[in-house]
Amino acid sequence: MKRYWLLGLVVGCGTAANARFDDGGKNDTSGLDGGDPARTDASFSGDSAVGDDCSEAAKLVYLFTQTAELYSFDPPSKTLTSLGQLSCATTASPNSMAVARDGNAYVNYADGTIFKVDVKTLKCSATSFTSSWTQMGMGFSTNGTTNKDETLFVAKTTILGQTSELASVPLPPAALKPVQKFASAFANLSPELTGTGDGKLYAFFVDSNFGTAAKLVEISKTDATAVGTVTLSQITTVGAWAFSFWGGDFYLYYASATGNSKVGRYRPSDKSFVEYMTTSMRIVGAGVSTCAPITPR
Residue 131: the pLDDT is 85
CA distance 119 to 71: 9
Q: What is the pTM of this model?
A: 0.84
- Percentage of residues of the chain with pLDDT beyond 90: 62
Residue 160: the pLDDT is 56
Segment 256-294, tens digit of pLDDT: 988 999 999 999 999 999 999 999 999 999 999 999 999
pLDDT-derived band at 51 (thresholds 50, 70, 90) equals low
Of 18-22, 99-103, 153-157, which range is least confident? 18-22
> Which residues, other chains included, contact 192 with Cβ-Cβ below 8 Å and sequence gap of 6+?
1, 2, 3, 96, 137, 139, 155, 203, 204, 206, 241, 242, 243, 286
Cis peptide bond prior to 293, omega within 30° of 0: no
Statement: residue 31 has pLDDT above 50: no
Domains of the chain: 2-288 (2.120.10)
CA distance 163 to 180: 10
CA distance 233 to 236: 7
Segment 174-229, tens digit of pLDDT: 889 999 988 777 677 889 999 999 999 999 988 877 788 999 999 999 999 999 99
Q: What is the Cα 97 distance to its own chain's centre?
A: 8
> Which residues, other chains included, contact 184 with Cβ-Cβ below 8 Å and sequence gap of 6+?
14, 163
Give the mean pLDDT of 109-127.
Answer: 94
Statement: residue 16 has pLDDT above 80: no
Residue 18: the pLDDT is 32
Asked whether 90 and 109 are in contact (CB, 8 A), the reply is yes
> Which residues, other chains included, contact 217 with Cβ-Cβ below 8 Å and sequence gap of 6+?
15, 19, 186, 191, 202, 203, 204, 205, 226, 227, 228, 229, 230
